[in-house]
Amino acid sequence: MSGSLAFVFGLPLAVVVFFFALAAYERRTGVAVGGGFFQRNGLAIGLYLVLAVGFWAFFIILLPQLAMVDMSFRPKLPPSQMGGPKDLYTLENYRYFLFGSTTSTAEWNWLHIKAFFLTIGVSIVITLINFAICYPLAFHMAQSATAARLRVLLLLLILPYWVNEILRAFAFRVLLSSGGIINQMLMGSGLTNEPIDFLGADVGLYMGLSYAYLLMMIFPLYNAIESLDKNQVEAARDLGAPWWHIHAFIVLPHAKPGIASGCTLVFMLTAGALAAPLVLGGPRTLWFTPIVYDRFYQAFNWPQGAAYAFILLVSCIIFVLVVLKAFRLSLGEITR
Amino acid sequence: MNPGPFQRVMFALYTVIFFLYLLGPLAVMAVSAFNTPQYPQVWPIEGVTLDWFAALFADQDMMTGLKMSLWIGLLVVCISVPIGLAGAIIMTQIQPRVRSLYYLVVVSPVLTPGIIIGISTVVFWRQFTGQTGTRFLYDGVVLTVLGQASFISAYCMLIILARLQRFDRSQEEAALDLGASYPQVFRHILLPFLKPALASAAVLAFLSSFENYNTTTFAILSDKTLTTVLAGRVRQGSTPAISALAVVIVAVTVIGAIAYEIYKRRSDAAAAARQRAALDAEEAELAGRTPAAAMG
């Protein structure tokens, strides 16, 4: 156990030493000019910068992630046996995700595998739908709306997002419940005689998820399209380009970073959403995050929960990399 | 830009449907907060009541959670804004060959699902506090603040960085040439320049913290914030008191937004007036000097 403490303090120290060595090397070889870090910032401020960023990068970001990954490869043990002879690295938690408990007769752990692929698949579909819903409005706001109108539109867009995620999901429950207004309207108009069970069929969940992160799509799109010179669109129009040519060959290529950033955000938030599945999901709903949650607080199997969380994290990283590759962008371009 | 009448109608229709989708659910929920039935109901309106608001404010758990959320929000602002500022300054000074790696590390929390941040924070600090004998730090509030600070600091950094990139380094050099010390340059030149960005970072940090659920629900341990109490209530069943909470939040927001808009218009007007006065003074000076120059 003292080994891991040495790591916790050793890693940040090693990195800081590396940075100063690199700086000294660059100054000696003439790559960098000017004074050193502490000369440039003064001692007090220099210390503040190093400590604040060091604490953030290591103790808030990196070490917790590493601790989670480390735990996911360990067996579930009572606290007294942690660090003991039984505390060996194992793939048991990942095996469980694929094949289920060793006592079960089923060949694969279908429940969890299905939930995982459903979550990823539905998240991708929701991301695409949100893009389709948001694009026309983002284009209008960025290219043809007047300043006064833009102000109103922005206010209307932001308003729902001050209400937190759980309440937004709750609104959909009120709307779609069997005695809710949608069912009342459907029955009143004679379209159905029985209330439709939107929530049981997960329609409510998917709508709530799409709704929850609409803003994360529209703002990156708006920002990207806004920087496009209006004259380019005008010129294409004057030269007789049909409207879909203008979008496909001028606006979309220009807005690429915004599209990638909106898609990554929406996908990540949807796949990692916990509030909407808890509020809108039925007892038979398959969604991956509540399963992860239950590993911790129902099964009390933390290593297994950590393994499940790591699986989710890896799929999100893969998604981001695929999007970056497909759009030929760097990470810096999409997090602007 | 001359879309035909058909396109115009289609676009108007689309806009109406879009905003109906965006605002409709909230409007429906708001109506149910004033209707008398026990279950949130929109139609028929059986009677108008404010009882659900009374029930909301009488809910002790909810009020304790609210206080906790406000407290955590403040702590997160106090931690994330200084970290974000330091992160942004380091970004402009770090060696170019490691800059993209640094960027990857500090921006990664923005692209990490919230529950993973919550889980990893709890796992790490449980081990760390156990090993260093600082068990008192293994506490819901501390962990929640740390977990939220991971990605909220990144938001703050991105906001501050956007403004920092427009900072004119020659201002700093001029101050140094005139004999200012480094802390003086930082306090009297850099911070005032970054003030608007720091203010918006603080507001955004507070709001993101206040409404966070995914990270908080893991990191809060046995304590409760407004969002975790709310999640529990919603899971137990639907009551119009929950709708009432949404109405209160929207009302506070709209009032805040209007107040901000008025404040901004006033300060814009004041700035415009100052500029005009300065221009007038300059013109007057020029006008006064020209004849003098002609005479000379």
Looking at this predicted complex, what is its ipTM?
A: 0.86
Helices first, then strands: H and E counts in chain B: 12, 0
Q: Return the pLDDT at B296.
A: 42
Contact yes or no for B118/A322 (Cβ under 8 A):
no
Of A48, A60, A165, the CB nearest to B211: A165
Shortest CA gap B223–chain A (Å): 15
Domain spans, chain B: 51-242
Q: How confident is the model at residue B2 (pLDDT cuts 50, 70, 90)?
A: low
Shortest CA gap B242–chain A (Å): 8
For range A129-157, the mean pLDDT: 88
Q: Return the pLDDT at A135.
A: 93
| Model confidence at A59: pLDDT above 90 | yes
- Residue A38 in contact with partner chain B when CB distance is under 8 A: no
Rounded mean pLDDT of chain A? 85
Contact yes or no for A171/A212 (Cβ under 8 A):
no
Sketch out chain A's domains with CATH numbers: 2-72 (no CATH), 110-334 (1.10.3720.10)
Size of interface A-B (CB pairs under 8 A): 259
Of A5, A42, A64, the CB nearest to B123: A64
- Tens-digit pLDDT profile for residues A221-255: 998 898 888 888 888 888 888 888 888 888 888 88
Segment 230-259 of chain A within 8 Å of chain B by CB? 233-234, 237
Question: Which residues contact residue A282 at a Cβ distance below 8 angstroms, ignoring those fewer than 6 apart?
Answer: A199, A200, A202
Shortest CA gap A113–chain B (Å): 19
Contact flag A177-B238 (C-beta cutoff 8 Å): yes
| Model confidence at A1: pLDDT above 60 | no
- Residue A334 in contact with partner chain B when CB distance is under 8 A: no
- Tens-digit pLDDT profile for residues B40-91: 777 777 788 888 898 888 889 999 999 999 999 999 999 999 999 999 999 9
Contact yes or no for A255/A146 (Cβ under 8 A):
no
Segment 139-168 of chain A within 8 Å of chain B by CB? 140, 143-144, 155-160, 162-168
Rounded mean pLDDT of chain B? 87
| Model confidence at B294: pLDDT above 50 | no
Helices first, then strands: H and E counts in chain A: 19, 0
Contact yes or no for A138/A228 (Cβ under 8 A):
no
B51-242 CATH: 1.10.3720.10
Which range has highest mean pLDDT (A181-185, B229-233, B291-295)?
B229-233
Give the chain A residue nearest B173 (alpha carbons): A40
Q: If you write DSSP's letter for every residue of B215-233 in order, what string do you get?
A: HHHHHTTT---HHHHHHHH
Q: What is the three-state SS of B142-155? A: HHHHHHHHHHHHHH
For range A273-300, the mean pLDDT: 85
For residues B96 and A48, which has the higher predicted lDDT (pLDDT)? A48
Q: Return the pLDDT at A8.
A: 87
Q: Return the pLDDT at B50.
A: 86
Contact yes or no for B54/B124 (Cβ under 8 A):
no
Q: Which residues of chain A does B104 touch, with a Cβ-Cβ cutoff of 8 Å?
A: 331
For range B254-265, the mean pLDDT: 80
Q: If you write DSSP's letter for every residue of A61-86 in order, what string do you get?
A: IIHHHHHHHHHHTS----GGGTTSTT
